[in-house]
Structure 1
């Protein structure tokens, strides 16, 4: 079997540079908004604009299920004018700090509370809610709608300015949705089958008519490990579906993906996607919009005839 690797060296680099607005200390002036994940951090920055200082806790190329924060960053949470989190069980390593800050009456916006939630397709997840809603730009519009109101209510924030920022960003999200629809139309329905190393595409599949063949890591967390039986079952599903490409996430090592490709015994590509974290600037996915456009192009190229 031959595996053609399409992983860029830049995307594999572990960046130590934080995104703009990700400094560990917040300014003393103006409203302070602290965001857990860097995907939401980028969205919040667009909507807040100059109306608040936005601090993002999760560094580029990190795993949102596993990243942790310092005591100094935990203090930022408790003193924030608004905490923005993903919710739905995503921030597993951070949840205790979020719970403590909310118990201390820090204002909180949980993005997962404002979308039509899907459960994981995997039976291993036990019907748990899927937190990866950002793979559907239409649901991100719902998040922006709700975020506009929460940011506009923060003392010291100009609600009209936030409203204008939100309207402009909604237009960009609507354009992204149209681009993704047009690109995925290049893929015949029978080839819209996704295999990755973690269950992250449920919302994309729901929005754009894909089938989830399976994921190498069972359940809904990157912290689990597949058994030999899991890999054999997924190998059989890949062979039956004739999947030409397996997708690996940029925030995780792709060793298991390559092992599965070897086990499948067929010619299959391994293509890297940016799914759970933005990258540092210059590494291919330093904004939500650029991440989604890069993924759309790679999925379309990997699955189209």
Structure 2
């Protein structure tokens, strides 16, 4: 190949490459998105499973979510491990509940908040809609996911935070959140309709700790817990006696255990009622501070709520 032929070859190659680049730019401009091969997932770290579920639904393919707390884990008592610290460090954005649910992680989350977006999903909920913690006069009950309407507000918080971090995918986040909110509206109606089937005199939900206050307010069922809103609070013989006497007086036939709380506390109440001549059964296991195992229906927020409602109605109806 002579010199002129070589020069001609490189001129043609450069022209072809330029056309290829222009076509690629034109294609990107038409769709408004970068090519799929160059897109990167946003690294998100969450605390409890209920928040993980929101982020997965709203973020979809644009996020890679790492949840710290799995099935059966009590967030009130949870201590972050070195591995958890790394997951928080690696994240581009962190979502947590707030309202001191993750009590032992507050300092860590505050530190992370100085370095990257660290969002409490309860942040924008009107404080007038929150329940005050009975044993902590200045605090709020953190179990907001048990009022599905409040959890819809948490979903909107996640949506808006992802949009602020990644505005290029605003349309997708908005669409995904809208679809998820429809599911929440449906499970909210289901809970209202099903709990209403329980005779009013039997509409009493007794559990190991006071996690279901929002549920009681939203779906009109009386709630009693042996412990306070945090499992970090201690219960004593007086608490057991008072709950036992309440159950005997009201002739309550069933109480419930929780997947993230040891059964021994509620079993003490059952034994106390038995000694008083009143038989009480365990109506089933409810998911309170943690969802079910990943891959099961109860491993999703909607599935968890449905399981709880069906278990309560079956035992009390």
Question: What TM-score, normalized by structure 1, do the two folds share?
Answer: 0.84
Alpha carbons 1:31, 1:156 under 8 Å: kept = no
Deviation at 1:237, TM superposition (A): 1.6
Alpha carbons 1:125, 1:220 under 8 Å: kept = no
Number of the residue aligned with 1:149: 160
Alpha carbons 1:216, 1:257 under 8 Å: kept = yes
Could you list the per-position Cα deviations for residues 227-253 of structure 1 after superposition, in whole angstroms to 9, with x for gaps in the alignment?
A: 111111111222222222111111121
Which deviates the most, 264-273 or 275-284?
275-284
Which deviates the most, 69-78 or 147-156?
69-78
Residue 263 in structure 1 maps to residue 269 in structure 2:
no
Which deviates the most, 30-39 or 279-288?
279-288
Number of the residue aligned with 1:119: 131
Residue 248 in structure 1 maps to residue 257 in structure 2:
yes
Q: 1:236 aligns with which of 235, 245, 248?
A: 245
Q: 1:69 aligns with which of 80, 98, 117?
A: 80
Could you list the per-position Cα deviations for residues 96-128 of structure 1 after superposition, in whole angstroms to 9, with x for gaps in the alignment?
A: 21111113x311221122224423463x34353
Residue 299 in structure 1 maps to residue 296 in structure 2:
no
Q: 2:169 aligns with which of 112, 137, 158?
A: 158
SS in 1 for 2:116: coil
- Matches of 2:168 and 2:83, distance apart in 1: 25
Number of the residue aligned with 2:47: 36
Question: What TM-score, normalized by structure 2, do the two folds share?
Answer: 0.81
Alpha carbons 1:60, 1:279 under 8 Å: kept = yes
Number of the residue aligned with 1:19: none
- Matches of 2:205 and 2:177, distance apart in 1: 32
Number of the residue aligned with 2:116: 106
Larger helix proportion of the pair? 2
Quote the RMSD (CA, aligned, Å): 1.9
Distance 1:259-1:72 versus aligned 2 partners, 3 A rule = closer
Residue 194 in structure 1 maps to residue 205 in structure 2:
yes
- Matches of 1:157 and 1:205, distance apart in 2: 40
Any residues of structure 2 matched to 1:270-289 within 5 Å, and which?
270=282, 271-281=284-294, 285-289=298-302
Distance 1:203-1:157 versus aligned 2 partners, 3 A rule = farther
Question: Runs of 5+ in structure 2 lacking a partner?
Answer: 1-38
Distance 1:54-1:282 versus aligned 2 partners, 3 A rule = closer
Any residues of structure 2 matched to 1:119-138 within 5 Å, and which?
119-120=131-132, 122=134, 124-126=135-137, 128-138=139-149
Query: Which is bigger in relative contact order (C-alpha 8 A, separation at least 6)?
Result: 1
SS in 2 for 1:112: coil
Larger Rg: 2
- Matches of 2:155 and 2:167, distance apart in 1: 20
- Matches of 2:194 and 2:165, distance apart in 1: 39
- Matches of 1:178 and 1:115, distance apart in 2: 21
- Matches of 2:132 and 2:287, distance apart in 1: 19
Alpha carbons 2:48, 2:75 under 8 Å: kept = yes
Question: Runs of 5+ in structure 1 lacking a partner?
Answer: 1-27
Alpha carbons 1:44, 1:54 under 8 Å: kept = yes
Any residues of structure 2 matched to 1:166-205 within 5 Å, and which?
166-205=177-216
Residue correspondences, number: 273
